[in-house]
Amino acid sequence: MKAIGGLLLVGVMLLFCLTPAAYAEDLQIVDETLDPALFEEKIVVRTPTVHIVNESGSIGEAVARANPGDRVLVESGTYYETLDVDRTLELRGIDTGGGMPVVCGNGSGSLFTLSGTGISLDGFVMNGSGITVLSDRNVISNNTIIGGDIMLPVRNGGNSICDNVLEGGNITIMSGTVLTVRGNTLLNGSFALYRSYDLMVRDNLVAGGGLTLVNVVDGAFFNNTISDNPDGCAFDVRRSFCNIIAGNVIRGCGCGFRTGESANQVYLNTFVNNTLHVASVDLSGGCDLWSSPDPVTYLFNGSAFVGTPGNYWDDHTGTDMDGDGVLEDAYMVGESSGVDQFPLAYPGEEYTVTYADERP
């Protein structure tokens, strides 16, 4: 019986070996039953829908109808509603003859809460409240906020706040990274950063308030103007490191720069008409560097110079022997233990320096 079984097995094997054409034909039949379209990658491109809202409609209803990537255009008018935007949208106010659209609140909470990512919010007037951001990669631009704030109260990244006007409101950022804050105007309001890093803050105007940094690392603060805060501080910098603070105008404040337990690069700033230019809350006086750490090229009086310039202090006099715009006499920096070895002979506006639009 074993011999017969073995012969049968050998016979079956020989059958397959001796009839390869039949075997191949069977495989070909199986292949032909597969639809090649099943293996094609299907890419669907959806054209964003534009939702237009006028004063007789509702912004919130348009947001609820919209799919991610859509545009919501809001025409001139006054809208009484609060909005939670939970998806990627472009919300844009457009002037159709009656000015930019006005969104009104009751003075509590936020008019706009951005909980979705990648939202663009542009061109609104907000009255009585402002904006809360709970997500990443949003752009907030060209808005006017009266009596309201821009708040980023949770960990966030990649947000941009540009070219907004806040009247009687603040910008507060908690635990932010890779942020850009540019070209904003704050009237009787302040700007505060906490536990944040990798920032670009430039070309902002703060009048009647100040700028607070607490536990901020690797930020660039360029060409900001902070003024008219006689009872407060322009820059209040605590436990913050490796920030570049350059090209700013600090004018008419009770204290121009308060430092504590910090080490930053502070140069090419203009300190004028402050009650006290620099105060220190650190017994050691801090470790800030009051001139450029590396040579920079700057234009002064029509000529180019290379040097490590410091800051302009309106209570310091000295002599500029070689005409490079830098005084030969060092300046003892306020209450701190710091020394500006290369103080400027004139306010910073007399010097032209190009600051790279990059974070340190």
Cα gap 126→145, rounded to integer Å: 5
pTM: 0.85
Mean pLDDT of 187-201: 97
Secondary structure element (H or E) that encloses residue 351, with its range: strand 351-352
Phi, psi of 82 (to 5 degrees): -115, 150
- Confidence category of residue 123, pLDDT binned at 50, 70, 90: very high
Q: What pLDDT, on a 0 to 100 scale, did the predictor assign at position 285?
A: 52
* Range in 27-36, 145-154, 181-190, 298-307 with the lowest mean pLDDT: 27-36
In this predicted structure, what is the pLDDT of residue 13?
44
Please report the sign of the dihedral spanned by the C-alpha atoms of residue 60, residue 62, residue 68, residue 72: negative
- Model confidence over 38-53: pLDDT tens digits? 556 667 677 999 999 9
Q: Please report which helix (H) or strand (E) contains residue 181, including its range.
A: strand 176-182
In degrees rounded to 5, what are phi and psi of residue 64?
Answer: -65, -35
| 164, two tokens | 């907004």
Q: What is the mean pLDDT of residues 282-306?
A: 87
Q: Are 186 and 205 in contact (CB under 8 A)?
A: yes
* Pairing relationship of beta strands 351-352 and 296-300 according to DSSP bridges: antiparallel
DSSP string, 246-283: ES-EEEEEEEEEEEES-EEEEES-EEES-SEEEEE-ST
Residue with tokens 């700013």: 248
116 is written with which tokens?
A: 């979705």
Angle between helices 20-32 and 2-18 (to 10 degrees): 70
In three-state secondary structure terms, 346 is coil
Q: Please give the full DSSP string across 270-319, using - where no structure is assigned.
A: EEES-SEEEEE-STT----B-S-SS-EEEEETTEEEEE----EETT----
Report the DSSP beta bridge partners of residue 226. 206, 250
pLDDT in tens, 334-360: 877 789 999 999 999 999 998 776 666
Whether the per-residue pLDDT at 22 is higher than 50: the answer is no
pLDDT tens for 242-270 read 999 999 999 999 999 999 889 999 999 99
Tell me if 286 sits within 8 A of 337, measured CB to CB.
Answer: yes
Say how many C-beta atoms besides its own lie within 10 A of residue 6's C-beta.
10
Confidence of residue 37 (pLDDT cuts 50, 70, 90): low
Give CA–CA dist 128/329, Å, rounded: 51
